[in-house]
Amino acid sequence: MKIEHKTRENVRCLIIGSGPAGYTAAIYASRANLDPVLYEGIQPGGQLTSTNEVENFPGYPEGISGFDLMADLKKQALRFGTDIRIGTATQADFSAAPYKVIIDREKTIIADTVIICTGAAAKYLGLPDEQKYAGMGVSACATCDGFFYRKKKVAVVGGGDTACEEALYLASLAEKVYMIVRKPFFRASKVLQDRVFKTSNIEILFEHNTLGLFGEHGVEGARLIKRKGESDEEEVEIAIDGFFLAIGHTPSSTVFKEWLDTDEAGYIITEPGTSKTKIPGVFAAGDVADPIYRQAITAAASGCKAAVDAERYLLENGI
């Protein structure tokens, strides 16, 4: 691949993405005198900026808004000298070190090390109501937001392992959990199915699709269609306070797939226990490399690991 642009710049450490992983990597890389340059990406601050309240990030006993949490992390990265810029990686060439990354199709960054922290986006149904009630009853993370629905009624959309895990977690908090499953069966593993079937406050709505949500000041219910397209098709409503999407995530790894190994969903594969990819000097951290936990604290921890791995790579190679 030939990449040539008039605007070129050499950096020791390039960080792509500005969620908890990116900013934490920047803090550690800056303190290690790696002079990191960080490009914020499409959504500066990452997904967390759209989360109203974060109560499970250590150090904030009273909770904090996702926007404010990311603003604090950014300030800390700036304090130690991170060069934070607006821009998105649009192309990469990892065929030989130093590595080339194109920003906004116009500038070439030549980097000794690259830390990819581009995150993953939750899949939504595409209903206008999902945006309308964002932060007011619609969530894609039960672990993040389940606490707010103690003793309330919620619905989980999906029929795979993630949906069953989310429903079981919510069942320990909520009064009632509906599972809205498009097909007449689960795709989840047998052990998870058995646990769901045995949980008394989970009601499974097989062959149901969501038409929309309703509520005055937040989600108060969902409109569903049962056995869509069949002769006995029927519209039904359920009263709920929370609507949880559990139909998967899409990791933002497309730009790098030509060079790095990914799993079938697109998550970047790293060496177990490290942030190292198959390309020496290229590291991945946060949700783009994490199909399991997808939490702010685990993303931040992996950002720390990536910066430490990058520092060691530069030392070992005398760069």
Per-residue pLDDT of the chain (319 residues; tens, 9 = 90+): 555 555 889 999 999 999 999 999 999 999 999 999 999 998 888 888 867 788 889 999 999 988 999 999 999 999 999 999 999 999 999 999 999 999 999 999 999 999 999 999 888 999 999 999 988 999 998 888 999 999 999 999 999 988 999 999 999 999 999 999 999 999 999 999 999 999 999 999 999 999 999 999 999 999 999 999 899 999 999 999 999 999 988 999 999 999 999 999 999 999 999 999 999 999 999 999 999 888 999 999 999 999 999 999 999 999 9
Q: Backbone phi, then psi, for 112, in 5-degree steps?
A: -70, -35
| Ordered strands of the 234-239 beta sheet | 208-214, 221-226, 234-239
- Give yes or no: 145 in active site: yes
Indicate the DSSP class of residue 132: H
Per the rule left: phi > 0, alpha: psi between -120 and 50, beta: everything else, 46 is left
Note the pLDDT of residue 241.
97
Q: What is the pLDDT at residue 4?
A: 55
Among the options 145, 287, 290, 309, which is catalytic? 145
* pTM attached to this predicted model: 0.81
- The verdict on whether 144 is a catalytic residue reads yes
Q: Within 13 Å, how many C-alpha atoms sit on residue 89's CB side?
A: 30
Q: Report phi then psi at 308, rounded to 5.
A: -65, -40
Amino acid 144: pLDDT: 84
pLDDT at 124: 93
Given 144, 164, 290, 309, the catalytic residue: 144
Task: Identify the pLDDT of residue 294.
Answer: 87
User: Residues 261-299: pLDDT tens digits?
Assistant: 999 999 999 999 999 999 999 999 999 999 988 899 999
Question: Pick from 298, 296, 297, 267: which is nearest to 284 by CA?
Answer: 267
Report CA 110 to chain centroid distance, whole Å: 27
Catalytic residue among 141, 241, 290, 309: 141
Q: 233-254 in b/e burial notation, b at 16+ Cβ within 10 A?
A: eeeeebebbbbbbbbebebbbe
